[in-house]
Amino acid sequence: MKSKTIIKELLKECKITINGSNPYDIQIHNDKLYDRVLKQGSLGLGEAYMDGWWDCEELDEFFNKILRNDIEKRVKADLSLLLRIGWKSLFNINSKKAFEVGEKHYDIGNNLYKAMLDKRLTYTCAYWKDVDNLDEAQEAKLDLICRKIGLKKGQKVLDIGSGWGSFIKFAAEKYGVEALGLTVSKEQKFLADKLNRGFLTETRVQDYRSLNEKFDKIVSIGMFEHVGYRSYREFMKVVHRSLNDEGLFLLHTIGGNISQRSGDPWMDKYIFPNGMLPSIKQIGKSVEGLFVIEDIHNFGADYDKTLMEWYKNFDKNWEIIKEDYNERFYRMWKYYLLSCAGSFRARKNQLWQIVLSKKGVVGGYNFVR
């Protein structure tokens, strides 16, 4: 069976037509795409988009339809199709990690993130309950976290993976705490120090494993996706030893519906080197014997809206920042934001906020939503 026929069959299952008239239909500019996708899977699909081999008016909805339709299960269920295309080549099962990109994700330019994010530069899922714009939704998320951990004036709080310091500034500004943020990015620290001047905050470029301090409360907001399954347990041990006995830890992380030991090859190569989404099973195993799980809150559907807002900002401000990049970068970043939006819309990815205590909250934890 020719590659085009195989791809056409798979897309038909998703009600997507090659060169069709719907905004979610794929428009093919190079017929070599079919072989490339079957040989290289998601890496080939993403690189072909970057190369201009195909387009789609609504990339987010294209991915929503593909992922929502469970093409994976369709292929697994059809042995003849599986043999014809080669399961590993299409879905990259047990594939080796793509080589690392030269530039770190967070050091590609603060101007890019200023153009894309909210006014506080919060690069994690917003909370859209009872709000209607990105700035308010991000502040609602930051405040939700503060309330979930019962933050009080004078306490000492740690943020592992603090980015540009949006949480530590918010916590210091609104709750009167002393806040420390850890990042692996020099660019983030530089801007965080500038933005947070005047508040009782500190941002360090430091590996969390070298911590040797105690905190009343600890949060990690969108960093656990970078830890890797081999280090989940070590991460939790560091948090446990760094948290006061009566303290609370809030883990805010993207998660997957199934346990995996590698990330998507395209995302690994171009966006988040060595990134990996944990499952509830993996998180549960990592905290066993260390923490009591007090609360799990899933608002993954909010990430779809957050990503769409980021894309709108990025696209709207492209003319301002494009001199620092090129058209291939534009297509790469667009593909990243919209494919992720489609994945959350399809409910393949989740966003969990998990509250943990060391010994269990006496009398029970008071849920916050």
Burial class (CB in 10 A: 0-12, 13-18, 19+), 355: buried
Ramachandran region, residue 220 (left: φ > 0; alpha: ψ -120 to 50; beta: rest): beta
Query: Look-up: residue for tokens 């030269």?
Result: 102
Q: Nearest CA to 137 among 128, 145, 146?
A: 128
Angle at 250 between CA 247 and CA 256, to 5 degrees: 150
Range list of β-strands (E), 195-348: 201-205, 215-221, 243-256, 292-298
- The tokens describing 40, both together, are 């290289």
- The tokens describing 229, both together, are 């399954």
Catalytic residue among 14, 56, 146, 340: 340
Instruction: Answer whether 247's CB lies under 8 Å from 358's CB.
Output: yes
Active site residue 340: yes
Residues identified as active-site: 340
